[in-house]
């Protein structure tokens, strides 16, 4: 790209891609820091340079649409299938900067360079589309792109976890409406992954079993919270769901991350995920805003991890959203307004 960032195209068949980025862009600079919260034992990323990022531009000014002869965007080509590129306003960057060891005046708050990488993954060149409207073949191509980027980013020295995700809907906080997701390569293991890994280790020690395997087997056996399943995947509402509408998708075989999925599992995921996505889209008069979050194995946990996708929405009823209020935001204790069993039944009934 014109400012030195990397861009990669993913095509179903080999396609020549040689359009040049004709924009006059300044070099991308970041000032990210990672600060350690000693009380919670968690890292917080400080990325003040992101205040100037693009915010809800009109459709004819979308930076994720293909370039035209009259307007140049982030994607130089005039058309594309799936494309991935480094974020122009990244929270984390592989660029190195010198920082003190601790935050000024806070000797317990460790300070690191905001090392990592943030990428944007566009699912289609059609600005007006959404994920639920994609064809299975396109979703399979997206899965292959996730796998490629996960393998590539995981190999970077210092990266501890790769997180592929999609934010959809203005209510969620999306700043660009074009169908896209993001990929973060973190220099640490995220709090959620740390908690899951600790639970898995504790379960193994106490019961000599695999927590993931037993959790999935129980849901498949009970069936009351299963929304959809096929030969390779099971989609169910978790029994202790935190969000009004939440579905987790587990492969029926233990794999650590997306690159570990074989061809049959990738094809089967495209089918079941589109099914669940369309149920989310048709449950209420307006499509649900949602977050789709892949939980892949962090560094050091490949042998014990079980890949899964968490899809959840803050929509609890027509015209009503679930806000994270005092208990959730202040104490991280979620209070759900729906019942997992009822939600699963409602989603199964969506036609």
- Could you give the residue numbers annotated as active site? 180
Return the DSSP state at 158. Answer: T
Closest CA to 101 of 115, 113, 87: 113
Closest CA to 295 of 305, 303, 286, 285: 305
The phi, psi pair for 268, rounded to 5°, reads -70, -35
Chain-centre distance of CA 179, in angstroms? 13
DSSP codes, 321-345:
E----IIIIIH-----SS-HHHHHH
Return the DSSP state at 93. Answer: B
**Residue linked to tokens 């905001």:** 114
**Residue linked to tokens 């970077």:** 156
- B/e letters for 119-133, b = 16+ CB within 10 Å, e = fewer, are bbbbbbbeeeebbbe
Chain-centre distance of CA 191, in angstroms? 15
């Amino acid at each position: 790209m014109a400012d030195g960032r990397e861009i990669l195209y993913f095509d179903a068949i080999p396609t020549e891609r040689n359009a040049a980025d004709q924009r006059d862009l300044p070099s991308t600079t970041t000032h990210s820091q990672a600060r350690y919260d000693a009380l919670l034992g968690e890292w917080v990323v400080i990325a003040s340079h992101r205040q100037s990022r693009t915010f809800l531009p009109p459709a004819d000014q979308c930076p994720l649409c293909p370039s035209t002869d009259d307007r140049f965007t982030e994607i130089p080509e005039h058309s594309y299938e799936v494309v991935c590129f480094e974020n122009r306003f990244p929270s984390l960057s592989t660029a190195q900067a010198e920082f003190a060891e601790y935050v000024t005046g806070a000797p317990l708050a460790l300070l690191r360079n905001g090392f990592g990488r943030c990428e944007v993954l566009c699912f289609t060149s059609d600005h007006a589309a959404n994920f639920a409207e994609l064809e299975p073949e396109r979703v399979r191509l997206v899965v292959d792109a996730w796998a490629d980027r996960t393998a590539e980013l995981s190999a970077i020295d210092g990266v501890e976890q790769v997180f592929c995700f999609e934010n959809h809907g203005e209510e969620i906080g999306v700043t660009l409406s074009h169908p896209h997701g993001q990929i973060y390569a973190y220099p640490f293991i995220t709090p959620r992954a740390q908690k899951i890994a600790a639970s898995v280790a504790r379960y193994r020690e106490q019961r000599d079993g695999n927590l993931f395997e037993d959790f999935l087997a129980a849901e498949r056996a009970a069936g009351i919270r299963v929304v959809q399943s096929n030969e390779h995947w099971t989609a169910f509402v978790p029994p202790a769901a935190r969000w009004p509408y939440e579905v987790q998708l587990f492969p029926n075989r233990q794999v650590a991350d997306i690159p570990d999925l074989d061809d049959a599992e990738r094809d089967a995921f495209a089918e079941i995920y589109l099914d669940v996505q369309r149920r989310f889209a048709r449950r209420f008069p307006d499509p649900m805003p949602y977050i789709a979050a892949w939980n892949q194995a962090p560094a050091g946990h490949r042998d014990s991890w079980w890949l899964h996708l968490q899809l959840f929405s803050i929509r609890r009823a027509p015209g009503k959203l679930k806000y994270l209020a005092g208990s959730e935001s202040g104490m991280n204790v979620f209070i759900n307004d729906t019942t997992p069993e009822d939600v699963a039944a409602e989603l199964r009934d969506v036609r």
